[in-house]
Amino acid sequence: MASHRKSRPTGTRMAGIRTPALATAALTSVALLSQSANAAPEADDKPSLEEVEKKVDDLYRQAGSATEKYNAAKEKTAKQRKRADALIDDVAKRTQKLNEAREELGSFASAQYRTGAAAPDTATFLLADTPQDYFDQTQLMDRMTGRQKVAVDDYIAQQSETMTKRQEATESLEALTESQGDLKTAKATVQRKLADARELLSKLTAEEKARLAAIEKEKQEEAARKAAELARQQAAQQQAQEEAAQQDSGSSSSGSAGSGSSTSTAPADSSYATKADKALAFARAQIGKPYVWGAVGPGSYDCSGLTQAAWKAAGVDLPRTTYDQVNAGTTVPLSQAQPGDLVFFYDDVTHVGIYIGNGMMIHAPKPGTYVREESIYYDGESAIHSVVRPA
């Protein structure tokens, strides 16, 4: 009987013991790898709130830069269109004069054909009834030949000038086409940057938007603190100037000290203060109007459109773009900034506001906002590029 009993395969049993342990370890590894694979894309695809804020700020700044390029291209296009129109009009007038000169030449040719006029010769002399008749014919032909020569010279000159102006008109139209292309490109860039910024913001949750608003509030509070600090510095500087002026006036007359004090508070150039007051009055009247890129008023503005319009109200013509406005005046230290001065921002000079004193300015910030008063430190101290006195 024992010979019929089946022996247990020890190798199989041992394998049976080991197999579950290996399977469990393998399954565990697969699960962990699967979790890691699933978690990694989510972590990579979801930027932090700080990254979103920086990206949105960068996009708005890039949109501002593209807006100034659009403004420059628009201004250039308008000038070139005006020049092209003037050249085309000039070509039309010159063509008319050319046609008139051609007609005058034709009239001489017709007259010669009708009269059979030719250079005087022996036959003409013999055909003349009297020497006086020949003399009269000769004088007439001489006069006709002289007038014809003038007409020919005039025609040649008109033709040359017309061809030159036609070439200039052609080149001007080509330049206009190029500027229109630049204008279209700049416009598309602005629209794309703004769309990207809106898309990023649209992906934020309500909680993230609230946190972003809190971060922005902290930035504004810090900007206000910096503005107050600048205001204290400027007040101290002004007080020192007043005291120095009082000492100077006191050396000549103690009774004139009060008068010296009243005049020392005014800017060195009182005419500038008068103009600045008008510019600021205009700027304050625009508070609450929306920022619209490329706009110059009266219903909406971009940053340089606002400063240009404000100073125009004071009788000062500023260029259209920030790139040109920054060179349209005298650069002064920030510590000596006066109301009416223009404050420029960023290394590429793509934003500008009008200083109102005490570290504050009026500006049109960016799309989605309105003209408002704000600290010049609204984007940090490092963002300030320069201060320019435009008049």
* Residues near 327 by beta carbon (within 8 Å), at least 6 away in sequence: 388
Contact of 302 with 332, CB cutoff 8 Å: no
Q: Tell me the torsion sign for CA atoms 347, 353, 356, 359.
A: negative
> In this structure, what are the phi and psi dihedrals at residue 54, rounded to the nearest 5 degrees?
-65, -40
Q: Which of 351, 366, 385, 389 is catalytic?
A: 351
Work out the angle between the directed axes of helices 257-264 and 206-252 (0-180°, nearest 10). 150
Assess contact for 325 and 304: CB atoms under 8 A.
Answer: yes
Asked about 4 being catalytic, the answer comes back as no
Q: Residue 352 contacts by C-beta under 8 Å, 6 or more apart in sequence?
A: 303, 304, 307, 322, 325, 326, 342, 343, 344, 345, 363
Burial 86-99 (b: 16+ CB within 10 A, else e): ebbebbeebeebbe
Handedness of CA 352, 355, 361, 363 (dihedral sign): negative
R_g (Cα) of the chain, nearest Å: 42
- CA–CA distance, 369 with 289 (Å, rounded to integer): 9
Strands (E), 97-140: none
Q: Which one of 193, 363, 385, 389 is the catalytic residue? A: 363
- 3-class SS of residue 208: helix
Which amino acid is located at 353 in the chain? G
Peptide bond into 339 cis (omega under 30): no
| Distance from C-alpha of 51 to C-alpha of 177, rounded to nearest angstrom | 40
β pairing state of 360-363 and 372-375? antiparallel
- Cβ distance 283 to 362 under 8 Å? yes
Collapse the DSSP code of 332 into the 3-class scheme (helix H, G, I; strand E, B; otherwise coil) and give the result.
Answer: strand
Which residue is catalytic, options 59, 101, 190, 303? Answer: 303
Catalytically active residues, by annotation: 303, 351, 363
